[in-house]
Structure 1
């Protein structure tokens, strides 16, 4: 169960030196084909943090071909996570811890945003068997030690974004997360973090394994949920597949079943995306999606997380397949 105090740090003096705490607060402006990554990775035992603000508006193999990139490593770690400002111009404040964040950013080249994130449900604790139907069967955290504590949250996000002088209103539904635990920068596996939203009426979020070197099919379900008309229900089954351009996901289909026995089928296609590397040991194929479900059209994000150890180990198989 996630509590208000989980908006703060969880480390202690005895924590491993690789202890990491993260905050992911993405948002989008679908009518402008813009998706924005707002991601903070803190390493409190080392006293440093990374923050990334990337504004994506096209499909490309190169991160630097996107509309805006501000990725800064080794800034001072904030003293608290519920209210902090970083040297890159990012300020995050938990007005109602876990449930309501105010996020502001003053970047370069007349680029900035000012946003409110309001939670649409109780934080989804993927390690709590009372909430996640798969949690009781696991021996340890959902993925690896970096998810010793982890929750997802779907937000209604409102405010304003300015990209190189072009101002636009923000009013979207997006899913973010928060993690804490030791995070080694090696052998993080190959996984997909995937979600689609159709306004406040319906969101599907899931986290699955994926062995891209061997197959287009998604692997085992790790965690996920359906948020339908305010009701939160954990996933018990998921299957899907991607179609690829090289290793960029270009579209596919997903079918999930929740703990109520309800099945939801989705198709999706990529509208913008690129390689993204918030820390050097891992690369992510960050793909923003247009999704369809029973005549509804929604938006979402697929992060295909690939450790560089995995990529180099399977480089020939990946090149031959894609």
Structure 2
């Protein structure tokens, strides 16, 4: 069960140098095709932090086409994770733990980008390791939680969909932010070796409906991206959250960026949820970690005349991509 204390540092062995605490806030301006992320990863036991802010409107398949990106590393870890300002200009303040928080940011490059956002959850936060939330939760031979997605996902993890409001200033233009999308918060040991893939996908339809799936990803020998199996997920209807028991996802893409998707999920009550999304923007987010890239898209969904937009993220470790896609990796595998 997620509690207010989960928005601050978690106990860890000071000798465990790879202990990490993260938070990401997703926001969008659908009418402009804009999708953005504010992300922080801190390693309190070595006193360091990474922050990343990225914003783009429309489609890009190459990093140099993205409208704004500010990845900064080797900053001092804050004293509190629930209330801090980093030298990058990124600030976080938890207003009502663990549900609501504010994110502010002002680029050190004058006039490039500024954020003033508030996230308000529309449901109780989802705990990946709580069997009351996640019917698919299993443990390994040692009794530890195992999502099958590697150490980035196996440790403490909360997820929530919320109402994100505020303003975005991007290279001289100001946008009002009023959207519904996901956040996540994680903590635990993670080696950042990038040897796996995972999809982090939300569907939102205003304040009364949200769907989230966390899928394993693989790349077949012919380069096809396959959504292998559901590892966790939930649906929220009118504030009530129900865990998912199965899901399938397919997607069409330009290069590696998804431009449409088809989601069919079944919840623990036996109800089926089906959506087809069409992207209004997307790009490769290389900047949040040197070990990963997230090919993310802003998908448009519609049901019964209600339209919503949310992020579709396909996350791959760079080592996994190198092993599957590079010339050396193909030669080593005899392909």
User: TM-score by structure 2 length?
Assistant: 0.90
Alignment partner, residue 271 of structure 1 = 280
1:295 to partner: Cα distance: 4.3
Aligned counterparts, 1:170-319, within 5 A: 170-214=177-221, 215-277=224-286, 278-315=288-325
- DSSP 3-state at the match of 1:80: coil
1: CA distance, partners of 2:257 / 2:29: 21
Provide structure 2 residue ranges, at least 5 long, that are not aligned to the other structure.
Answer: 331-335
Contact 1:11/1:19 (<8 A) preserved: no
1:100 to partner: Cα distance: 1.4
What is the CA deviation profile of residues 246-279 of structure 1, one whole-angstrom value per residue up to 9, with x for unaligned ones? Answer: 2222212010011111101111122222221211
Alignment partner, residue 333 of structure 2 = none
1:121 to partner: Cα distance: 0.7
Contact 1:227/1:233 (<8 A) preserved: yes
Alignment partner, residue 91 of structure 1 = 91
Asked whether 1:117 is paired with 2:119, we answer: yes
1: CA distance, partners of 2:151 / 2:197: 15
Contact 1:58/1:272 (<8 A) preserved: yes
1:137 to partner: Cα distance: 6.2
How many residues in Structure 1 have an aligned counterpart in Structure 2? 319
Alignment partner, residue 74 of structure 1 = 74
1:115 to partner: Cα distance: 1.6
Alignment partner, residue 135 of structure 2 = 133
Relative to structure 2, which stretch is displaced further, 295-304 or 70-79? 295-304
Aligned counterparts, 1:155-174, within 5 A: 155-174=162-181
2: CA distance, partners of 1:188 / 1:127: 22
Contact 1:141/1:149 (<8 A) preserved: no
Alignment partner, residue 100 of structure 2 = 100
Name the Cα RMSD after superposition. Answer: 1.9
Asked whether 1:144 is paired with 2:150, we answer: yes
